[in-house]
Amino acid sequence: MSSVIRSVPVTAGLVAASVLLAGCAALGDDSSGNGRRAVASFYPLAWVTERVAGDAWTVENLTQPGQEPHDLDLSIAQTAALEQADLVVLEEGFQPAVDAAAEGTDAAVVDAAAVVDLLPATADGHDHEHEGEEGAEAEDAEAEDGEEHDHGDLDPHFWLDPLLVADFADAVAEQLGEVDPDGAATYAENAADLRTDLEAVDEDYTTGLASCERTATVVSHQAFGYLSRYGLDFEPIAGLSPDAEPTAADLAHLQELITEDGVTTVFSERLVSPKMAQTLADDMGVTSAVLDPIEGLSDDTSGEDYLSLMRENLTALQQANGCS
């Protein structure tokens, strides 16, 4: 009996060790890149890092396709990868598990929140103010719901502004050059090429949304504020966290807005349930469509990239708002 009892922790230890070794073995694979590895916390950051680093680096995205990035919990292998990477790319406050793991790494770190000018976030995710007792209760409830995904006073979704993405790419190039001085000129050139692509997207949005029949745009959650500079007004059903629940006051406001402004479309999004948006659209007799916050890829978008998804979003906005 005693030998059986002793065998349990030994087996468990061997399993844990094998998992860690598997993660470390993956890190030691020099079959791609020059042995330098970057870890990025979710898709837009990984995409930029890949574009800027080029073939000289292997880039791992910690958030798997189809996974909502807010909900990321790191596996043992992912934590090992992060700790042994040469560069970690994250946005502080967006994924607490990554922030905590990055504190223990000796790698160079690019924090998007520190190198990009983030927009302020509204308190409840809506432009209108809650009033009276119902509003106070709604704010208390939302505060409780938002504890897990507390983004503070800033809106983290900067990547929906292509020019801010270009600024972020410059910061990535600078840090890559510090880690690998011999490749600094190449990284800077890659970032400049990426800026050209992003400026083209910016121009498409500027001209494509210059003349629209309406500007009010109802979206699933408060992820699209960075697109407001193109002249649209985004009204979210939920706040910064996509799993937040709207209050009765929120829904009444949106119903009034849809009626008064002639809104034709309520936008849901990928990676989270479309139920709230679909229900509101059905109740109001308008169309439901998808506007992608580009927080990650899904089965439907596995063949896409940031640039193509941004242009798909533009087409959807033009159709919804009668833009010419």
Determine the Cα–Cα distance for residues 205 and 231; give it in Å rounded to an integer: 10
Q: Are residues 81 and 124 in the same domain?
A: no
Determine the Cα–Cα distance for residues 12 and 122; give it in Å rounded to an integer: 48
Split at pLDDT 50, 70, 90, the class of 133 is very low
Q: What is the pLDDT of residue 132?
A: 40
Q: Which domain holds residue 136?
A: 119-155+209-321
* Number of domains forming the structure of the chain: 2
Among the three residues 116, 136, 169, which one is the final residue of a domain in this structure? 116
What is the per-residue pLDDT across 94-109, written as a single tens digit (0 to 9) for each? 999 999 999 988 999 9
pLDDT at 27 over 70: no
Q: Are residues 285 and 234 in the same domain?
A: yes
Q: What is the pLDDT of residue 238?
A: 85
DSSP per position, 266-314: EEE-TTS--HHHHHHHHHHT-EEEE----SS--STTTT--HHHHHHHHH
Q: Are residues 125 and 111 in the same domain?
A: no
Among the three residues 93, 116, 139, which one is the final residue of a domain in this structure? 116
pLDDT at 113 over 60: yes
What is the per-residue pLDDT across 277-307, written as a single tens digit (0 to 9) for each? 999 999 999 999 999 999 999 989 999 999 9
Residue type, 227: L
Q: Are residues 132 and 222 in the same domain?
A: yes
In this prediction, residues 317-324 reach a mean pLDDT of: 96
Q: What is the pLDDT of residue 148?
A: 40
pLDDT at 174 over 60: yes
Q: What is the pLDDT of residue 13?
A: 40
What is the per-residue pLDDT across 50-91, written as a single tens digit (0 to 9) for each? 999 999 899 999 999 999 998 899 999 999 999 999 999 999
187 occurs within a structural domain: no
CATH code at position 28: 3.40.50.1980
Nearest to 103 by CA among 88, 120, 124, 115: 88
Q: What is the pLDDT of residue 122?
A: 67
Instruction: Please name the helix (run of DSSP H) or strand (run of DSSP E) that holds residue 108, with its range, or none.
Output: strand 108-111
Split at pLDDT 50, 70, 90, the class of 28 is very low
Split at pLDDT 50, 70, 90, the class of 153 is confident
CB atoms within 10 A of CB 263: 22
Q: Are residues 35 and 146 in the same domain?
A: no
What is the per-residue pLDDT across 224-274, written as a single tens digit (0 to 9) for each? 999 999 999 999 998 777 767 889 999 999 999 999 999 999 999 988 899
In this prediction, residues 161-171 reach a mean pLDDT of: 98
Q: What is the pLDDT of residue 284?
A: 97
Q: Is 38 in a helix, a strand, or coil? A: strand
69 occurs within a structural domain: yes
CB 294 within 8 A of CB 159: yes
User: Which residue shows structure tokens 């995710």?
Assistant: 125
- Phi and psi, residue 10, nearest 5°: -65, -45
Quote the tokens at residue 50. Answer: 């890949």
What is the per-residue pLDDT across 175-222, written as a single tens digit (0 to 9) for each? 999 999 999 999 999 999 999 999 999 999 999 999 999 999 999 988
Distances (CA, A) of 219 to 48, 69, 291: 25, 18, 8
Q: Are residues 243 and 101 in the same domain?
A: no
Determine the Cα–Cα distance for residues 45 and 9; give it in Å rounded to an integer: 39
